Each structure stands twice: as structure tokens, then as C-alpha cells.
Amino acid sequence: MTSSTTQQPAPEAPAINAAGGRVELRDLCKRYGNSQPPAVDHVDLDIEPGEFLTLLGPSGSGKTTTLNMIVGFAEPTSGAVRLNGRDITRTPPHKRNFGMVFQNYALFPHLTVAQNVAFPLRERKVPAAETARLVGEALELVDLAGMDDRRPHELSGGQQQRVALARAVVFSPSVLLLDEPLSALDRKLRQSLQREIKRLHDELGLTFVFVTHDQDEAMTLSDRIAIFDRGRIVALGTPADLYHRPTSRFVARFLGESTVFTGRRSAADVYEWLDRRWRVAAQAGEGDGQAVVVRPERLRVAADEASVPSGDNTADATVTDVSFYGTYHRIELAFGDGTVGCAVLPVGVPATVTPGTRVVAHWRPEDQVLVSE
Amino acid sequence: MAAPTAAPPATADPPAGERAATGLLARAHAAGWLLLLPALVALLFLFVLPLLTVVIDSVTDPSLGLGNYASLFTDGYTLRVLGRTLLVGLVVAVVGVALAYPYAYAMTLVGPTMRGVLVTVVLVPFWTSMLARNFAWLVLMQDGGVIQSFLGLFGLGGVTLLGTTLAVGISMTQVLLPFLVLPMYSAMEQIDGRLVAAGQSLGAPRMRAFRRVYLPLSAPGVVAGMSLVFVLALGFYVTPALLGSTRSAMIAQVINVRAKELLDFGGAGAMGIFLLVVTLAVLGLSRRWAGQGGPAVAAGSPPARSRTGGEQASEVRPWLRVHTTIVGIVLVAPTLVVIPMSFSSAETFRFPPDGWSLRWYQELFTSPEWLAAIINSLQAGIYTALFATVLGTTAAFGLARLNRRWRGSMNAFLLSPMIVPHILVALVVFAAFLRLGLNGTLIGIILAHTAMALPFVVIAVTARLQGMDGRLTFVAASLGADPVSAFRRVTLPLVMPGILSGAVLAFVTSLDEVVIALFLQAPGAITLPVQMFNSVTVQIDPTISAASSLMVVLVSVPILLAQVVGGRRQRRSTR
């Protein structure tokens, strides 16, 4: 509450070199009206200084609401937001010194590129000469030097988003928030801007909080990913962790492809599925063992049981589709209980399977993960 | 002049803004009502309460009951006037459509340059004062005038036009033509031209394909334009008063006589309310029939965008060329009469003039009456623009903060002065201001004009606000701008073109308004249109032609300026 009077001091010698801020979310809740389930439901999250953290989840999972509470556009129903240990829950957005990049660019249409980038500096009463230098630096940073006098509508979508990036970092914010910044761009542009954002993060050392529903984007960019489902964080970890060690069926399904078998864990090292008894390796996963997840690159197919290496877990399947993806073949499988799964085979391995073929799917016990429902 | 328009749908939400702002919703609503308050209070006192008193008068004066309404349908004279008014309205609407439909169709066929010309031709009447246009018709139709001489070539020289219902009808059709062309054009502009070709490819001959495909698709525009013109025609006062005679009176004249000369507010009120009921019924039906939110066309608004896909100008058939040319001539003719007339040296309304001089301009700028009228009009226009812009802009900002349901009904309320026939507004204001002693003062005229002009400001500003990306204020906040700074640096510059064009429309509305000003006139409160009206009806004073030319300048300069400024801003701010 007192924070509204403690004005953020303007940087003494402005230069785009802010140190990353630490953001803590403590038991954050947001309800819209009483009847609906909460949009954000008891979220706890520590975002480390300089970290690239992604909030990933399907639409309506609460990730954007969480972002809006961090930046100050939405007021939490309960809980707290802290920046470097200071409570900023009730601080209005214009005093938080956070940069934000919006979906669809959101440039000021009545201002030129340079005026757009200078906007936050003018708010901070930065002297004109300093402003000019910083704007030039910021535009250089996003590869738009010399575009100063263009109007936003004269730029391509990718260029507009670069201007938005420059505008959001030029005043050395402690945190940069990005709300699905790439979703309006086409595939190619998206990839080049992903690299741009990654480079910006490496160069500036800022804390990045990135919201997306695109799992590939999250995997390539992030240091850590927080996966949202129905207002809660259901998993938090590095992309590799979450991919190889999903904790729940939802996480496994949402991040990458997988085959999920639903059976029963009958003993510490035994999992029963239909008539099969599978071995469970020591490092089985953190879940309580409701389901077994196998990633497609771990799943192999054999013509019959005889050609399966000993010790592998197996399941009978019918090939329903084979498609060629350039670097690999993707094979869709249907299992006896209706489970649908998939495997990928590197090109070069002669693809003898065709739709309709009956095969045996197999994998090493240590390659499977037991997850909760 | 200022065209009543269908309200722009006030529903589109900036999605992200909405999402982010939900937490602050209650506060936003309170602020919204606060911003709306001034406009609501103004409308209540200037419009709603006076209207209610007239309604009450109509059932109590001279005696309690529906006697006034009964006499509408029993009194032979009133019945004839009513019948004539409805018939003229209908004929004007039908003939107008016959003239305007092919013209609007041609507008969709020609290339961009020609389209610009045709749009300008439609807008020229808007820029020529209502009175100036009627005066031009008076000149053309007078005995020995151009039209009579022309008819003389066919041996019809003895035909007298002036004073007949025909003269009134012709002039009204011309005056109202833009209201037909613009909605029809905007409906046709949405139609994919290839659809007719598709119809033909499916086996329908060209005309049948047109009838079965194009006609139904353009019907909403036709219905919107026709109903608008019909209701506007019902309330016409100036044209019948100038070009007709007491024998061919229309209802607005009778209302005028009843109220101003007989002080029979009950009887006049009943007629006015009857007009309002017919208006609401017609507009309601047409809205229902033509679908929600018919095409919105505002006077002076830039011509609608050409269809996407850069289709080439299609071939325009010879008969359509001829028709379009004739309609174009009819549209600009009054303006082309008025301006040369003002340089005439004669004491009469002869056209073309026998000799040239600047004497009428000299008269206009030296005679105390004319000078006073000009100053009064400018004063009224500027104050109206000021009041209406302040009230309308705050109201538009208020509307944007309300939730959807309230926004719709408040929007409708704010726009309501637009659909009430001017003659009824004049009567209502006259009756109310008589009690308050505001009659015969410029303040009374300014207040009444403010109520009339308010909707145009609300529409113009609302359109800008809706066109604005709602997230931009959030962006500004994230970049360190406090709410005041965000408003000053982002919202205001983006909405400014809307505010400016609203102000211009308000100024022009007041400048050109005759009926209310005629009702409220008194020595010392005579506006330029009233002086012009009197100069034809009371004495024959050719200064009116100079005044008409001055009006063309006074009206078109601000509109053109607004378009140039608006256009430049538009180009800058389109994404």
C-alpha cells in the first residue's frame, strides 16, 4: 500500500543495461465474479533474476491473468506480487517499471517509430540528447536502425513487433513481460523473432516472463516453463525436465507427443496393462503411477515378439497411419484397449510398416514415465 | 443538412483491454456515468421534459381528453393536409429511389477518379445551405424562370409551377436525394460484383440475374434510404413554405400556424406527436426489415472504401451514363444557380442575370439586419459547436466505459434528437422556452441547437473510440505513463479527428438550421437562414443570393478543412 508513494527513481545514467529483477508470486488468486471458478487459483512462483520463464497453457488456463497481475493491469483477489522483495501488489502499472510486449504489436499509430520508442523515456523526463542516444541504441538492438521516421502502418508485422520490443526495453525495465508476442506472425517470421528474443535476453540480462500457448516456442526459448491448467501451475521445470519427466497425464499430453497407457500398478516394480505385466524401473517418475507415458522417439516397433530385445516392455498394436516428415517417419498406432499412440522412425531405417500392419510396440523400462492422472 | 444516420453499433470491445480491465470494471462504470451525466442532464432539460409537456398539452389543452387527436382525423382540412403530407412523402421517396438507385449503382461501377467526382456531386447539396437550395428552386421555377421558358419550347409556357404541390415535391426530392444515394451506395458497395456474373453463369439472363441477385442484396440500403427520406419529408417546413402555397399546405406549416399564431399548443402538439409516432413506426419497421443497424452514412464522412481486390471499372451502359449525368446535374444545379445569382446587378430574381455587380455582397455586409444575422449565426454556430462538442465528447467517453446493455440504451437515448422531426423539436422548444422566457433570445436557439447537434458529436467520437486499439492505454501505462499522461499523449491525439469532425458537424448543423430558429426568432435573435427566409417571404430582397453563396462558403470550408485534417490523420493512424 505504501509503495504507491515510493516513486521509482529515474535511472541516473540511463543505458539499456538493467539488472534483472526477481519476481515472487505468493498465493496469488483472481476471481471474476463469485459463480465462476477462479481464473487464477493459489499460484506460487519465484522468478529468478535474469531468468527466461514461460507461462504455458491452453487458453483460459490463467496464464494471461497471471501476467496481468504481475504487470498491474489486474488486481489480485488475494495474494501478493513482490519485486526484489518489495510488495508491489497495489502499485499502479505505470510505477512498476516493467516492460511489456503485447500481441498484435500495439504501437501508437499516431507516433513515428522513434517517437514510439521514446515514449517511456519522455514519461521519465530523460533529457533529449540522452533520449536520442537510447532510442538509436534500442533500434540498433532490434536491427531497425534508420527506420526512425516511419509510421507503424508502414512497417511489416515483424518489424512492428521489433519496434514494440525496443520500446519495452529502452527504459531499462527490471522485467520484460511478453504476452503471446509472436502469435500474430507467420511461421517463418515467428522463428526469426524467436531467435531475436532469445538474443535480446542473452544480451540484456533482463528477467523475461513470456506467455504463450505454443509448446514448441516455450521449449526453444525458456530456461524454465510453468504449465498452467485451470488457474493452477501444474508443472514447473526446465524444458528437458518437463519433457522427459512429466508428472501428469496433462503435462505429458500438452508438452510434446506421447503415448499414454492407463493400467494399474500392482507392485513396486510391476505395472499391469491388459494382459501385460511391465517392469517398472527404479527411477519411474514422480507421479503416483496412474498412467504410463512413453515419448514417441523412445517407442519402437517390431514385426513380432521374437525380434524384441529382452527386458523391453511390449504392447500389441496396429499401424493406422504412416507419414513422412522429411527427417523422420511418424507412425500412428492403435492399441488393444483403444489407446492411440505414436512412434517416430528416422528416415533411412527402411520403413517396412504400412497401415494395417500388426506390430509389437516396445520400449526400455527406464524410458517410460509413470505419471498421475 | 446534417444527415440523420443509423447509430454505429456500440458493441465492439477491445478484447485484451476488456480482459485486463475487468478488475477495474466497477470503477470504470462509475466514471462512465459521471462522464455521461452532463449530456444526460442537458438532454433531459432541453429535450425530454419539453417533449413531455407538449405531450401533456396535447391531451389537456384546451380540455382533458383525446379531442386534439380525434380532430386530426375528423377535421376535413387537417385530414386533407395530413393526406397530402403522407402522399408527398411517399412520392418523394419513390421518385427519389428511382433517381438515386441507378446513380448509386453507377458509383460502384466506375473507376476511383470518377467515383470521387460522383461522391463529391452527392455531397455538394450537403454543403449548400438548405435555404439556398430552396431559393434556387424558387428562382428556377418562378414565372418567366428557366424551367417555364424551357417548357415553353414544348408549348407548355403557361404552366405555373410555383405554389403547387408539384414544385414542393420536385424541390424536396432534390433536397433529399443525397439521403437516398449514400445509404444505397454503402449497401451496394458491400456487394461482390462477381455475384451477378455468377448468377449469369448459372443460367440467368443478365437482367434476371440482376433482379434475383443484386436487387435483394441492395434492398437493405433502399429500405433504409426510403424510410429515412419518407420521415424527413413528413416534417419538412421550409420547402412547402417557400415554394408551396397555403392551398397546398403540409402538416409542418399547419403546426407552425397553430402554435405561433393561434397559440393552440394542444392541437399543434397532437399533430407533432402524430408525426413522431409515424416516424418511429416507419423507422422501426425499416430497421426490422432491413436488418439491424442499417448502413451508417454520416454527412461529410469520407466516401466508403472501394471494394477490396482492386477490381477494375466495369462497363457503364449508355442509358446509365445518361441517367447518372442528369441526376448529377439535378444535384448540383441549385448551387450553380445561387452563386451566379449573387453577382447579379438586377433587383429581381431573374436567372440568368442580365448584368453583373457586387452590390448584393455590399448590401450583405453593410445592411445592419444582414450583418446582425451573420453575426448571430456565427455566434450560435460557435457556441453550439462548443457546447455540443464538450457534452458529446464526455458522453462518448462515458459510453465506452459502460457495460454493453447500458451502453446500447444510453447511446439510443443520446441519439434520439436525430429521429424526432425538426418541426416537432421546434414546437417543443418553442412551447417550453416560452414559459421560461428564452424565446426571442439567441441563448434559446443555441440551447436547442446543442440538443440537435449532440448526436453528431457522440457518433463521431464514438466511432473514433471504437476504432482505437483499446490496449494502447494499457501499453502507455506499462511504459510509465500515469492515467492523465496516457490520456493526453495517447487517447486524445487518437480521438481528436472524431472530436474535430463532431465539432464541425455541430457548427454546420446550427448554421444551417432554419425551423427551430424560425420558431424562436425575434428582433435581436434572427439567424442568417431566418433572415434569408424572411427576405423571400416578407420582401423580395436579392441579398439572399449573396447570403446563400456566403453560406456555401461558411459550410463547406469547415467540412473541407475537417476532411483534409482528418484525412491526413487517418492516413497516419491506420494500421
CA dihedral over A87, A91, A93, A97, signed as positive or negative: negative
Among B22, B472, B574, beta carbon nearest to A74: B22
Max Cα distance, chain A (Å): 78
Band of residue B306 on the pLDDT scale cut at 50, 70, 90: very low
> Over the stretch A345-363, which tens digit does the pLDDT of each residue have?
887 666 578 888 899 999 9
Band of residue A119 on the pLDDT scale cut at 50, 70, 90: very high
Residues of A in contact with B475 (CB under 8 A): 100, 102, 106, 108
3 state DSSP class of B440: coil
pLDDT of residue B304: 39
Band of residue A314 on the pLDDT scale cut at 50, 70, 90: very high
Task: Report if pTM > 0.90.
Answer: no
Q: Taking residues B404-428, what's their average pLDDT?
A: 88
pLDDT of residue B235: 86
> Over the stretch B101-153, which tens digit does the pLDDT of each residue have?
999 999 988 888 888 889 888 888 877 888 888 888 988 888 878 888 888 88
B357 in Cβ contact with B148 (< 8 Å): no
Rounded to whole angstroms, what are the CA distances from A149 to A115, A171, B574?
8, 20, 16
Second-level CATH architecture of A2-243: 3-Layer(aba) Sandwich (3.40)
Interface size between A and B, measured as CB pairs under 8 A: 93
pLDDT of residue A67: 92
Q: Do B480 and A124 touch (CB under 8 A)?
A: yes
The CATH label, of 3.40.50.2030, 3.20.20.30, 1.10.3720.10, 3.40.50.1220, for the domain at B25-53+358-575 is 1.10.3720.10
Looking at B83-87, B204-208, B374-378, which range is the least confident one? B204-208
Q: How far is B347 from chain A (nearest CA, A)?
A: 54
Rounded to whole angstroms, what are the CA distances from B501 to B191, B249, B505?
28, 37, 6
Residues of B in contact with A95 (CB under 8 A): 480
Q: Where are the domains of chain A?
A: 2-243, 245-371
Residues of B in contact with A171 (CB under 8 A): 479-480
Q: Taking residues B20-38, what's their average pLDDT?
A: 73
Residues of A with CB under 8 A from a CB of B: 30, 32, 64-65, 68, 71-75, 92-95, 97-100, 102-104, 106, 108-110, 119-120, 122-124, 151-153, 167-168, 171, 177, 179
Q: Which comes out higher in pLDDT, residue A16 or A122?
A: A122
Q: Where are the domains of chain B?
A: 25-53+358-575, 73-298+316-341
Residues of B with CB under 8 A from a CB of A: 16, 19-24, 469, 471-472, 474-483, 485-486, 489-490, 493-494, 569, 572-575
Q: Taking residues B400-422, what's their average pLDDT?
A: 87
Mean pLDDT of the residues in chain B: 83
Cα pseudo-dihedral B38, B42, B48, B52, rounded to 10: 120
> Over the stretch A22-81, which tens digit does the pLDDT of each residue have?
999 999 999 887 767 888 999 999 999 999 999 999 888 999 999 999 998 888 999 999
Residues of A in contact with B474 (CB under 8 A): 73, 93, 102
Tell me if A2-243 shares its fold with A245-371.
Answer: no
Does position A373 have pLDDT exceeding 80, yes or no? no
A314 in Cβ contact with A279 (< 8 Å): no
Band of residue A288 on the pLDDT scale cut at 50, 70, 90: low
* Residue B72 phi, psi dihedral angles, 5° rounding: -55, -35
Cis omega before residue B4 (within 30°)?
Answer: no
CA dihedral over B398, B399, B404, B406, signed as positive or negative: positive
Spatial separation of the C-alpha atoms in residues A173 and A178, rounded to whole Å: 13
> Over the stretch B486-502, which tens digit does the pLDDT of each residue have?
999 999 999 998 899 89
Q: Residue B407 is which amino acid?
A: R
Spatial separation of the C-alpha atoms in residues A308 and A316, rounded to whole Å: 12
> Over the stretch A220-255, which tens digit does the pLDDT of each residue have?
899 999 999 999 999 999 999 999 888 888 888 888
Q: Looking at domain B73-298+316-341, does it have CATH number 3.50.40.10? A: no
**What cell was used for A274?**
491388459
> Over the stretch A140-179, which tens digit does the pLDDT of each residue have?
988 898 889 999 989 988 899 999 999 999 998 989 999 9
Among B19, B479, B569, beta carbon nearest to A123: B479
Place of cell 441563448: B443
The CATH label, of 3.40.50.970, 2.40.50.140, 3.30.70.20, 3.40.50.1460, for the domain at A245-371 is 2.40.50.140
Q: Which residues does B261 contact at the CB level (< 8 Å), separation at least 6? A: none
Tell me if B25-53+358-575 shares its fold with B73-298+316-341.
Answer: yes
ipTM > 0.85 for the complex = no
Among B22, B478, B575, beta carbon nearest to A71: B478
The nearest alpha carbon in chain B to A124 belongs to B480
Band of residue B536 on the pLDDT scale cut at 50, 70, 90: confident
* Residue A26 phi, psi dihedral angles, 5° rounding: -120, 110
